[in-house]
Amino acid sequence: MKESTALKDMFSRESVGALARAIAAVYSDFPTNLFLQGVFDSSWEDLKLKQRVRQITLNMGELLPGDYHSTLKILGDALPLLLEQGFEKMVFPDFIEVNGLEDWKTSLQYLELFTQHISAEFAIRPFIVRYPEKTIQRMLSWTDHPHPGVRRLASEGSRPRLPWGLRLQDLVVDPSSILPILERLKADPREEIRRSVANNLNDISKDHPDLVVDILTHWQSPGDIERKRLIKHALRTLLKAGHPGALSLLGFSSTPKIKVENISLEPGKIQLGEEVIFSFEIQSTSDQEELLMIDYLVHFMKKNGVQSPKVFKLTHKTIKPGQRIKITRKHGIKPISTRKYYPGVQSFQPQVNGQVFDKVAVELIIPK
């Protein structure tokens, strides 16, 4: 994920100044001006989001008492004074990530506190790596915590492949130790926690697809809309990949009785910033209704001259025996922050219930 400029700019002289004043309110010896000078040095404007958080953390650490316990007490007292801040509070768990790895007990105590104000999902990951058994056990105990932020940390902090976060390679290889956490939280009353459970399972599915399908098969609860939503979100990577078990779990056949015809893409040549019209027809060859998951792939040209596919979601449709349906989609090839385009052939390809069909192509021209 590309870091948002707007998110980076939340760490401003105003917000960091408020942090300094909150600390000084509970620790009168805190040198506010020296702290701000250290944070906003000549490198500040060029720093990315996480680099800005870390620069604040390091300068804060240099000017607070050297005793870790005393410093955390000061930060714990200052945190409630920042009622107007949200994401800017990331410096609190980041301080523990930087300074607390040698003191597991105190650090976990304060991560539990801080995550009730701002998620500590990044900060807890080095503790999982260093102290896997007792950290996972503590996170399991958090699944019964009254505060939703702590319960969410149990699932989000243990994701093996958390975006922007330290990859938990041991959990990538063997996620069995975190499955009890997900089991306990699958019916949590909070939507954001159930979604975190789904995100965790989606991470796991990239390395253990059949395991995740098996878990979700046992989690099915007819008539439970929230459970159905969790299962669908957890399977999103496997559905894009056309995994038969994932498709079957949601009622899609991996071998639909259809033909895909009249695949077209217009125009045949465009410049960056323009759009194409992609269309195709689906003809049922079955004597029964079938549920179809209709997507399409765009094979983007990469810098090395090789195409790389990306799946785009389209729609779900029920097709009747012998019915023919036409699908049309406009697709803009326009500059976006998350993708760099390269000139040359870009191919489009229908995908229905995980099956792919013939490609059609457009030539993308990017003026030098």
CATH number for region 5-249: 1.25.40.290
* Crossing angle (nearest 10°) for helices 13-26 and 68-78: 110
Q: What is the pLDDT of residues 195-233, one digit of tens each?
A: 999 999 999 999 999 999 999 999 999 899 999 999 999
State the pLDDT at residue 182: 98
pLDDT at 34 over 90: yes
State the pLDDT at residue 84: 87
Predicted TM-score of the model (pTM): 0.86
What distances in angstroms separate CA 331 from CA 65, 272, 351, one per listed residue? 57, 12, 16
Fold category of 258-365 in CATH: Immunoglobulin-like (2.60.40)
State the pLDDT at residue 1: 40
Q: What is the pLDDT of residues 58-94, one digit of tens each?
A: 999 999 988 999 999 999 999 999 988 899 999 999 9
DSSP assignment of 209-274: HHHHHHHHHHH--TT-HHHHHHHHHHTHHHHHTT-HHHHHHTT--SS--EEEEEEEEE-SEEETT-
* Mean pLDDT across the chain: 95
pLDDT at 5 over 60: no
pLDDT at 3 over 70: no
State the pLDDT at residue 286: 95
Residue 2 binned pLDDT confidence (cut-offs 50, 70, 90): very low
> Beta partners for 325?
282
Q: Would you kindly state where each structural domain of the chain is located, as residue ranges?
A: 5-249, 258-365
Q: What is the pLDDT of residues 162-184, one digit of tens each?
A: 999 999 999 999 999 999 999 99
pLDDT at 111 over 90: yes
pLDDT at 239 over 80: yes
Q: What is the pLDDT of residues 8-29, one digit of tens each?
A: 888 999 999 999 999 999 999 9
State the pLDDT at residue 179: 98
